[in-house]
Amino acid sequence: MERILKRIDAVTKELENTKLCLWLKDENNVKEGRFEFIPSMLFFVLGFKDILNAMSIDKPKTKLDLGINTHCAEDLDRWKWYLRDLETLGFIPQSWRPDMRDLFTQICEEDSTVSRDLVYNIIHEVKKRNDPLISLVMIELLEAAFGVFIRNMIVPIERENMYERLQYFGKIRKEKEAAHSKGSWISEGRKNEEEIFTTHPLTEKQLKAAGEIISSIAPQFFKLFDYWYSMRHKFSRFVPQDNLSNKHEVEPA
C-alpha cells in the first residue's frame, strides 16, 4: 500500500505547481481578483454530495465500513457552505442582471465538461469496484487533491480579510476539518490510514484497482484545475460597501 500512498503524494506535489495554484498564491498584482472563477466550481461542489452517497456503505458491518460512512456523512452538507459563500462574495442576482440564465449557461458550457466528467467517473469507479478499501483509496486521493486547492485558496482569502466570513473557503471549514471524525482512524492522519491498510492489506487485485483509479482520476484533477484557472475572469461580482460587512448566521454542520 505504501506505493499507492506515495503515488498520491506525487500527485499532490504536481498539483501544487499547476497554473491555478501558482496564481492563487501569487503576491504580485494583488489588485487582480482571485474569486471570479468560484461559480465555475458549482457542478463539482454539488456533485461531490453524489460522490459521497455513492461511497457510503449500505448495511455497514465492519469498523472500516462505519468509518467510511461517518466520513461521508460529515462532508455531505458542505455544498450549503459553498452556496452561502457565493452570496457573501457577491455572486448574487444583481451580478447577472435580472436574468439568471446567463449564469447557468456559462456554468454548463462545453468547457465545463471536465468538471462533470470527473464527478461521473468517480461515481462510476466507486460503484464498479464496490469495495470499502478501494473507496478508502479514493477518499485519500480526493482529499489530497482537493486539499491542495483549499490550501492555496486560503492565501487570497486571508489577503482579502475574508477568512472569518467564509464557511466553505474559510474558518468554518478549517475548524471542521481539524475536528474531522474525532476519535476515528480518518481524523488521525496518514499514520492511522496506513494502520488500516496494514490491518486490512490490499490484495494484488485491490492494488491493481487502486493503481487504475489513480491513473484514471488524478489526471482529471489537473484538467479541473486548468478549467478553473481558465475561468478566472469569467464571472462578475456585485460587492457594495456594506455587503461584505453583512454577517450571516453559520448553518449547523
Please name each of the domains of the chain with its CATH number: 2-22+39-230 (1.20.910)
Q: In the numeric block, which cell numbers belong to residue 196?
A: 488500516
- pTM of the model as a whole: 0.84
Q: Is the pLDDT of residue 245 over 80?
A: no
Among 12-16, 51-55, 80-84, 185-189, the range scoring the smallest mean pLDDT is 185-189
What is the mean predicted confidence (pLDDT) over 183-198? 48
Q: In this structure, which amino acid lies at residue 68?
A: I
Question: Tens digits of per-residue pLDDT, 88-135?
Answer: 998 876 665 556 676 677 667 767 799 999 999 999 999 999 899 899
CA 190 to chain centre: 18
Alpha carbons 147 and 230: distance in angstroms, whole number: 20
pLDDT number for residue 107: 65
* Most confident stretch, 91-100, 132-141, 230-239: 132-141
Among 37-46, 61-70, 94-103, the range scoring the smallest mean pLDDT is 94-103
What is the mean predicted confidence (pLDDT) over 197-219? 87
pLDDT number for residue 64: 85
Mean pLDDT for all residues in the chain: 82
Query: Ramachandran region of residue 28, left (φ > 0), alpha (ψ -120 to 50) or beta?
Result: beta
Alpha carbons 253 and 250: distance in angstroms, whole number: 9
Q: In the numeric block, which cell numbers belong to residue 14?
A: 504536481
Alpha helices in 76-112 (DSSP H): 78-88, 101-107
Band (178; pLDDT cuts 50, 70, 90): low
* 105/170: higher pLDDT: 170
pLDDT number for residue 169: 94
pLDDT number for residue 98: 55
Q: In the numeric block, which cell numbers belong to residue 211?
A: 493503481
* 20/187: higher pLDDT: 20
Share above pLDDT 90 across residues of the chain, in percent, rounded to a whole number: 49
